Structures are given as C-alpha cells and as structure tokens.
C-alpha cells in the first residue's frame, strides 16, 4: 500500500515536471519548435522515453498543459468571486484575479496563446474552451441584476467583453514587461463598475 502511494506521488511529480517543461519550451520557442526532445532536455530527462512512459504522445502533453493551466485559472477565478461580499465586489475580484494570475504565470499564458494560434486539441474544435473562464463573471452579472446591484444588461455580451479585456493583459505585458499591473487592474475595474452600475446609482 505504501509503495503504491509512493509510486503515485512520484508519477504525479514526474508528469508535472514534464508539463512545466513543456510550458517553458512553448513560451520560449513556439509551437513549431516544441518537440518531445526539447521538452525532455528542458525537464532534465535523459530520453523522450521518460515522457512517453507518462504521456501517449506530444498531443497528450499539450492537452495536459492546456487543461492544467485553464483548470488552475478557473479555480483562481471561482475562489476570488466566492470570497466577495456582493456582486460589485465580485466583479472587481474577478478582474483582479484574472490579471494577477496572468502576471504570475506569464510563461503559461504565452504557451496558451501559442497553442491557440496554431494547434487544435484532438477531438476539440480549438486549443481550449474558454467557458470555464467566462462562466464565473457571467454568473456574477446575472446575480448582480437579480439583486438590483447592476443595470439591465446582456450578460453573455458583457461577460465576453470583460473576458477579452482581461485577456488583453497578455499583449500588454508582452509589449511592456514592466507594465504597472495594479494600474491596469484599477482602470478595468473602474471601467466595468461604471459600465454595469444602475443609472440611479448614488
């Protein structure tokens, strides 16, 4: 029993080691130059066989990269929204959490966008589905309207607009690695607070 548990922990750690290496290679070298050989070298592994022991092929590695990053981001967004005391605070929290996640995971964000530009996950229509990322803010908008905190608005449209705005941080930090993240967050929070508040606010 103890040996099986140790093997599971070791297997999980090795898979994560490979995923992290794939993220760095994608971010640095791009999709066309991301090979199992480069990933193995980046991970400090002696051969690609140590990758194919844990993953079926390169597509399996890339799919795991996508699911890992999207899953972590979605969990971060959900946690931030759930901690908020009211819809307005939840909206501000979503914006901050999304941008902070990107700032803290720049290689991961670069990897995702490189995959989105030139790779389609097997059995899927695109590299990844952004539904887990947009759903929390759409629900915040619906809740805010139901509670009278927000004006009447088309939640899917506004939620997609917010998603595009926060995802735009990728282009911003690519153009300016020293960007003031806090100021970027504040401007979007102000913009969408005024854009969603009721006309009789204040």
CATH number at 178 reads 1.10.357.10
In a domain, 66, yes or no: yes
Q: How many domains does the chain have?
A: 1
| Chain centroid offset of residue 120 CA | 17
In a domain, 13, yes or no: no
Domain span at residue 67 reads 58-196
What value does the mean pLDDT of the chain take? 93
Lowest mean pLDDT among 16-30, 81-95, 111-125, 132-146: 111-125
184 contacts 87 by C-beta, under 8 angstroms: no
In a domain, 187, yes or no: yes
In a domain, 150, yes or no: yes
Give burial (CB, 10 Å; 0-12/13-18/19+) of 26.
buried
Residue 7: the pLDDT is 57
Q: Please give the backbone phi and psi of residue 65, each rounded to the nearest 5 degrees, phi first.
A: -60, -50
In a domain, 151, yes or no: yes
In a domain, 10, yes or no: no
In a domain, 11, yes or no: no
In a domain, 168, yes or no: yes
Residue 154: the pLDDT is 96
Helix boundaries (H) for 30-180? 36-43, 49-52, 58-83, 87-104, 106-118, 131-146, 155-167, 169-175
pLDDT digits (tens, 9 = 90+) for 121-179: 888 888 888 999 999 999 999 999 999 999 999 999 999 999 999 999 999 999 999 99
């Amino acid at each position: 029993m103890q040996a099986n548990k140790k093997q599971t922990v070791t297997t999980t750690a090795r898979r994560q080691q490979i995923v992290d290496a794939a993220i760095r290679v994608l971010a640095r070298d791009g999709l066309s130059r991301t090979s199992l050989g480069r990933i193995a070298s980046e991970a400090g592994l002696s051969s690609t066989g140590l990758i194919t022991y844990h993953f079926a092929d390169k597509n399996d590695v890339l799919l795991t990269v996508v699911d890992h990053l999207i899953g972590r981001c979605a969990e971060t967004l959900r946690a931030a929204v759930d901690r908020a005391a009211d819809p307005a605070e939840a909206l501000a929290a979503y914006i901050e959490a999304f941008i902070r996640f990107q700032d803290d995971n720049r290689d991961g964000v670069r990897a995702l966008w490189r995959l989105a530009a030139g790779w389609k996950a097997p059995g899927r229509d695109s590299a990844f589905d952004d539904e887990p990322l947009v759903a929390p803010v759409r629900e915040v908008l619906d809740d805010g309207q139901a509670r009278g905190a927000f004006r009447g608005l088309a939640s899917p449209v506004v939620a997609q607009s917010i998603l595009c705005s926060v995802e735009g941080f990728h282009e911003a930090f690519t153009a300016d690695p020293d960007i003031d993240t806090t100021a970027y967050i504040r401007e979007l929070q102000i913009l969408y607070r005024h854009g969603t508040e009721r006309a009789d606010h204040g």
